[in-house]
C-alpha cells in the first residue's frame, strides 16, 4: 500500500467503517481520526475506530499522506479549511460524499495547493454515528471515484488501490454524471421514503399506531432509509439540487400517469407497468447488489426469526 498514514475527518458510519476496514485489511497503515463532537471522539476511541483519535483535526492530519473527509456534504469546505495549514504538502485529499460536483468544488477552493480526488462509496446502512461503522461495509459495493481532468494517474491508482483493499469495486466516473446517476439510485429514493413516512404520520383517519402495526404490507421497507441521518440528507438535497429536481420531475410525471390509470380504471396500463419492473430486481440480485432471499432474508436468520 502506498499510504503510510490515513487521516479520517468525521467518525460516523462512513469514517468509522473506513477506519475499521483499514485496520483489518491494511494492518501496516496507520490511522488517525477526528470528529467535531467530543462524545463521538470518546466513543470512537472506545471502539478503536482508528489507532489514534485526536483532539483537533490538525493533529489528526499531521503526517498523513491520505486524508478522507467523512463529514456531511455541506461542511466539507469548512472541514478542509480547518486542516489546511497542518496538511502534508503531498497529502492526497479525498472524501466519501454523495454529491461530487459541489464537494469537489468546495474541497478545491479550500485546498487549492493540494491534490483532490473525490470518491463516493455506494454503501451504507440506515444507522449513523460512531457506533454504526463496521469493517465489511464496503465489501462488494461500488466505490465511484471522480477525478478532475488531468489527474495524476499515480495518485489516482493509489486511491483506487486503497478502496479495492477495503473490499470495494472501483469505477471511475465524471462528477456530473455521478450526480445524475446517484440522484436516481439514491437521492430520489431517500426523498420519496422520507415523504411517505411523513405522509403516513400526519393522517387524521389512520392513527400512527395503525401505520406501525400494519407496516408489513410494504410501508416498513420505506422506513429503513427514512431513518438515515437527517443532517447528511439535508445537505445532499441542497448540494445536488438540480439533478434531484430533474429526477423528481420525471418521477412525478410517471406517478401522475399511474394515478390517471387508476382513476379511469385502465387495468392494462397498470398491469403493463407492474410487469416490467421484475427484471430489474432480478438483475440487481444477479449482480450481487441485493440479497436473493425473499423479504431481504428478514426473519430467515435466527435473531431475525425471534424478532419477527
CB 146 within 8 A of CB 119: yes
Contact between 78 and a copy of itself (CB under 8 A)? no
Which run of H or of E encompasses 220? Answer: helix 219-225
Non-local CB neighbours of 97 within 8 Å, separated by 6+ positions = 69, 73, 76, 103, 118, 120, 239
Shortest distance, CB of residue 294 to a copy of itself, whole angstroms?
A: 4
Contact between 271 and a copy of itself (CB under 8 A)? yes
- The rounded distance, in Å, linking the Cα atoms of 296 and 308 is 13
CB 95 within 8 A of CB 70: yes
Binding to a copy of itself (CB under 8 A) within 80-109 occurs at 98
What values do phi and psi take at 5, rounded to 5? -145, 125
Shortest distance, CB of residue 298 to a copy of itself, whole angstroms?
A: 5
Contact between 172 and a copy of itself (CB under 8 A)? no
- Tell me the number of residues near a copy of itself by CB under 8 A: 118
Shortest distance, CB of residue 164 to a copy of itself, whole angstroms?
A: 16
| All three cell numbers of 295 | 423479504
Contact between 220 and a copy of itself (CB under 8 A)? yes
The angle, 0 to 180 degrees and rounded to 10, between the axes of the packed helices 38-47 and 13-25 is 30
Q: Which stretch binds a copy of itself (CB under 8 A): 20-28, 47-55, 75-83, 197-205?
A: 197-205
Q: Which stretch binds a copy of itself (CB under 8 A): 50-58, 88-96, 102-110, 196-204?
A: 196-204
Cβ atoms within 10 A of the Cβ of 141, count? Answer: 18
Interface residue with a copy of itself among 28, 85, 149, 213 (CB under 8 A) is 213
- Kindly tell me which of 115 and 237 has the beta carbon lying closer to a copy of itself: 237
- Kindly tell me which of 4 and 212 has the beta carbon lying closer to a copy of itself: 212
Interface residue with a copy of itself among 105, 136, 151, 158 (CB under 8 A) is 136
- Kindly tell me which of 52 and 186 has the beta carbon lying closer to a copy of itself: 186
Contact between 215 and a copy of itself (CB under 8 A)? yes
Q: Which stretch binds a copy of itself (CB under 8 A): 19-27, 59-67, 78-86, 194-202?
A: 194-202
What values do phi and psi take at 54, rounded to 5? -100, 160
- The rounded distance, in Å, linking the Cα atoms of 279 and 304 is 28
Shortest distance, CB of residue 146 to a copy of itself, whole angstroms?
A: 13
| All three cell numbers of 142 | 461500488
Shortest distance, CB of residue 170 to a copy of itself, whole angstroms?
A: 12
Binding to a copy of itself (CB under 8 A) within 282-301 occurs at 282-285, 287-301
* 3-state SS, residue 121: strand
- Kindly tell me which of 59 and 164 has the beta carbon lying closer to a copy of itself: 164
Non-local CB neighbours of 116 within 8 Å, separated by 6+ positions = 93, 94, 104, 107, 108, 148
Spatial CA neighbour of 103 closest among 185, 184, 29, 182: 182
Contact between 111 and a copy of itself (CB under 8 A)? no
Shortest distance, CB of residue 242 to a copy of itself, whole angstroms?
A: 10
CA 230 to chain centre: 13
Amino acid at each position: 500500500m502506498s499510504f503510510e498514514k490515513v487521516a479520517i475527518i468525521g467518525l460516523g458510519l462512513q469514517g468509522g467503517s473506513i477506519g475499521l476496514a483499514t485496520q483489518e485489511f491494511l494492518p501496516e497503515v496507520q490511522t488517525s481520526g477526528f470528529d467535531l463532537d467530543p462524545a463521538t471522539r470518546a466513543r470512537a476511541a472506545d471502539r478503536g475506530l482508528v489507532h489514534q483519535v485526536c483532539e483537533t483535526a490538525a493533529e489528526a492530519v499531521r503526517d498523513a499522506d491520505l486524508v478522507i473527509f467523512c463529514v456531511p456534504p455541506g461542511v466539507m469546505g469548512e472541514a478542509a479549511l480547518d486542516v489546511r495549514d497542518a496538511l502534508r504538502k503531498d497529502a492526497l485529499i479525498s472524501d466519501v460524499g454523495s454529491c461530487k460536483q459541489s464537494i469537489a468544488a468546495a474541497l478545491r477552493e479550500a485546498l487549492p495547493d493540494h491534490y483532490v480526488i473525490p470518491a463516493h462509496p455506494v454503501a451504507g446502512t440506515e444507522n449513523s454515528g460512531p457506533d454504526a461503522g463496521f469493517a465489511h461495509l464496503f465489501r462488494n459495493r461500488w466505490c465511484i471515484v471522480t477525478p478532475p481532468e488531468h489527474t495524476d494517474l499515480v495518485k489516482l491508482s493509489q486511491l483506487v488501490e486503497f478502496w479495492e483493499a477495503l473490499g470495494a469495486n472501483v469505477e471511475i466516473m465524471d462528477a456530473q454524471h455521478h450526480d445524475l446517476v446517484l440522484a436516481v439510485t439514491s437521492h430520489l429514493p431517500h426523498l420519496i421514503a422520507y415523504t411517505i413516512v411523513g405522509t403516513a404520520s400526519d393522517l387524521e383517519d389512520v392513527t400512527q399506531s395503525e401505520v406501525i402495526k400494519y407496516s408489513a404490507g410494504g410501508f416498513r421497507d420505506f422506513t429503513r432509509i427514512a431513518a438515515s441521518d437527517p443532517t447528511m440528507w439535508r445537505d445532499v438535497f441542497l448540494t445536488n439540487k438540480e439533478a434531484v429536481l430533474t429526477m423528481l420531475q420525471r418521477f412525478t410525471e410517471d406517478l401522475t400517469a399511474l394515478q390517471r390509470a387508476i382513476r379511469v380504471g385502465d387495468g392494462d396500463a397498470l398491469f403493463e407497468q407492474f410487469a416490467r419492473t421484475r427484471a430489474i430486481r432480478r438483475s440487481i440480485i444477479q449482480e450481487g447488489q441485493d440479497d436473493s432471499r425473499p423479504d431481504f432474508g428478514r426473519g430467515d436468520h435466527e435473531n431475525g426469526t425471534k424478532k419477527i
